[in-house]
Amino acid sequence: MFTNYKLNNPELIETPEHLIFEEKVDHNIKSIISLVGNTDRLIPHAKTHKSKDTLKKLINQGITKHKTSTLNELEILAECEPDSLILAYPITSKIKSERLSKIVKKFPKTKFSTIISTKYHYDLIKDINNLDGFYIDLDTGMNRTGVLRENVDELLDYIRISKNKNLKGIHAYDGQTYGIVSVEERTLDTKKTLSDIRDVESQIKKKFSSIECEIIVGGSWSFHFYIDQKDIKLSPGTWIYWDASNSKQKELDFEIAGLVLG
């Protein structure tokens, strides 16, 4: 698997070290653009690379919208001035809300959004000045974060009563597909996720007729199953460096770009 990875003067590198092979990264960027067909549909998760150099490379290739999970990552990546950044983990305390507000103020060239799945999450972010908006985080089966489909209606009513204008749409991470090698099984799972998303989309449009309802979904084990849904934005993360586990997906043309020199 790793016979075509060349390293000059390895004795000069202090170990352990995470090595990134730039030509492999370039290949993966070209592959995902070719697969999706439109860079505007990509909102990659930066959790894998956490790198300003990699982010700049993506921006230079026309992928200008990104998401991440921590405020530290958000602030570091904002220094590259992407068009937009989504904090894809809910704000859960006043101190985090205040820090997010400071980041939004510090980087006015970037549009910032976040996700919510409870009334408490919403109350912590609703008054942040210049926050571009927020997404309803939908739990489609991973049972880690997100609101269940059957509980969305109550949350939407709470938002509507507050007369907040910044609801942008739906965010869903179907991480339950991770490690499922069978294409057939992942196809069934993503069909269920899509059904849940469309149901919530319908609820949102009934209660908030003026919003477009952007939809963001998909990890590296599932994003390509939504490509034919042209209104959906895709947000895989591991694809950029790939790894031994993800490479079990034989239907994808990514290459492992990061290795550990021990």
The pLDDT value given to residue 163: 79
pLDDT for the residue 1: 64
The predicted-structure confidence for 23-66, as pLDDT tens digits, reads as follows: 999 999 999 999 999 999 999 999 999 999 999 999 999 999 99
- pLDDT (0 to 100) of residue 107: 99
Residue 262, pLDDT score: 85
pLDDT at residue 6, as a whole number: 86
What's at 114, amino acid-wise? T
CA distance 209 to 225: 28
How open is the CA angle 254-27-258, to the nearest 5 degrees? 65
Provide the 10 A C-beta neighbour count for residue 153: 13
- Sequence-distant (≥ 6) Cβ neighbours of residue 152 within 8 angstroms: 136, 138, 200, 203
Low-confidence ranges of the chain (pLDDT < 50): none
Does domain 39-257 fall under CATH 3.20.20.10? My reply is yes
pLDDT of residue 4: 82
- For 63-98, what is each residue's pLDDT tens digit? 999 999 999 999 999 999 999 999 999 999 999 999
